[in-house]
Every structure is written in structure tokens, then in C-alpha cells.
Amino acid sequence: MKFLDLAKVYIRSGAGGNGCISFRREKYQEYGGPDGGDGGKGGSVWVETVDGLNTLIDFRYQQHFFAKNGQSGMGRQRTGADGDDIILRVPVGTEVLDEDQETVIADMTEVGQRVLLAKGGNGGFGNLHFKSATNQAPRRANPGQECIDRTIWLRLKLIADAGLLGLPNAGKSTFLAASSNARPKIADYPFTTLHPNLGVVGIDNAEFVVADIPGLIEGASEGRGLGDLFLGHVERCSVLLHLIDGTSDTIAEDYNTIIGELEAYGGELATKPRITALNKIDALDEEERAEAQAELEAAVGGPALMMSGVSREGLDTVLRAVRAKVDEDRIRYKNTDAEEAPWQP
């Protein structure tokens, strides 16, 4: 199934039905008078998160969602039928954005969450509604409320505990394949990863989800390469694992390139907890490992781990470091939720 994480959608709620002007005139039936019914309500447009979806591919083949209009009122005091609602079913982690792609309408983070996007119009009153002691034969009725047209964007941000960062061919896909049952595409040329991949990683009887995104290059924030739009998939992560190619001749420059793109992306991504690891050490001898680690630690200004996704050397150490950050973030959120919960006797 093709991965799609951004979709433009046109929605329209249903218009309300018009009220009816009608009078009861039947032979041999007394007490005639106004009997026009009200119009029905128009259908609304909702968005709802459901389990089992991990892409917005359904919205590639259908972009227009129009709810039904309410039926007009009728004589004999009959109210028009209400229009049917329309529900946009999306995966967990979807953001609903306004047409400007900046204003967030809703952030769908839980299964079963439901948000109203466009409310259906109310039906108009029939002339029966206006009957009174001083106006026993009203000849007026209200039209139904008009529909609401909106253009929205759906953007999927994957829900993962840890995110992988690095230049193309830094070994992110190899790391994901070595540490989980995921089978991303692996090749010896840049940009083999064209869409995010998820893998469930297990270490010391604990599991967490890791997201692998396409590699970044210098100028990705300006649209070079595959751009930096995929960084949205690691915004929700507890920790970022930054992999550096140990066989590169410009280790410090490679590290600073990714950090610069994170800062250019903005938001909290640049300040999110990070773990830096030197990858592909199986291709280095002891002296080369020491030199590469020293250069990377000087650029990071702190410790850098050593690992190899191919030989699995140092893999468990990196996974334990990532798990510690994930657990720390989970505890922090748990304590925050406990503080915000209302007191109950």
C-alpha cells in the first residue's frame, strides 16, 4: 500500500431544508388552517480516528465529501427528513489544518476521537410555527440555513517513541532492520528510503516504536533532496537517534548539517532529547574508530555511542540508551497527567 501523509480535502455540510407554507383545506373537515412543516437539518461533516489505518491513501482517490441536504417541510405538519452526516476516517496522529496549512483545526491523537468540521444547516420553520392568536393564517416560512464549504488539509504525523535522523546512507534502515522485524528497503545508493517506516524494537523485555524517515541533506529546509516535510513524523517522538556514517571523511560536518536542518525546521524539534551514535564501525579498525569517535564527540560536545547495524556490535547499548530516554519521557507525561487530573474524594 502506498504511503501518503498529506492530502487536500474539500468538504461541504448539508444545507437545511426550507419551511413549507401550506393550509389545510378539506371538505367536511373543520378547524383548517396553516399546517406547513419545518425543514430537516442538513448533514454535518466529522473527522474520526480509527484503529488499523497508518496512511491517508484513501484521500488520494476521493477528495470531495459533501453531506446531504435536509429535506424541505411538507403540508399536514410533516417535517422534512434530516440529511445524513459524513465521517472522514483517519489514522491516529493526523492533524487537520485549515486551507492556509498553518492553522491547526484538530490534532487527532487518540482512537475514537471525533471532531466536527462543518455543521449542517438548521431547517427553516414552516408557517405552522408562526401561527398565533393574532396571526391565525401566516403566509411566511423560513428558508433553511446554507451549507458550509471548507477546504482542509490532512497531515499525518506518525506516533512513535523514537525517531531516526541522519544523512542518506547513514545506516538508518539497516539499524531498523537489525533491531526490529521491519524490512525497509536497503541499498548502496542515496535516498533508498522514500517514505517513513515503523518498527517495534524490543530490548530487556521492553518494547518501543522507532520511526525511520528519509535522509536529510544540506538545504532540505529549502526543498533540496526530499525536503524536510518528513520531519513532522518525528515531532511526537520522545527521543531522536542521530546516526553518523563512521566511514565518512567529514564526520563533524555531517553532524552539523543535520543539526542545522533541525533548527531551520523550527518548533521543539531542535531541543528534543538526542542520542548520537557513530554507525558502520565494522568497517573501521581500532585506530580509525578512536579518531572518528573523538571527532564526533568534539562536534557534539558530549559522549557519542559506537555501533554497527550490520555486525550488531554496540546495538544493544544504543537501544538501552534510547529506551532509557523513552521511559523517562513516559514517566514525565504520566506525572504531568496526574497533576492535571481533578481531585476526587
Report the binding-site residues for Mg(2+). Answer: 173, 193
CA distance 204 to 103: 42
CA distance 187 to 168: 11
The residue type of 3 is F
List the binding residues for GTP: 166-173, 191-195, 212-215, 279-282, 308-310
List the binding residues: 166-173, 191-195, 212-215, 279-282, 308-310
Kind and range of the H or E element at 265? helix 251-265
CA 52 from centre of chain: 14
> Could you identify the residue written with the cell 506525572?
335
Strands 94-97 and 149-156: antiparallel
> Could you identify the residue written with the cell 472522514?
88
CA distance 97 to 153: 5
Strands 305-306 and 274-279: parallel
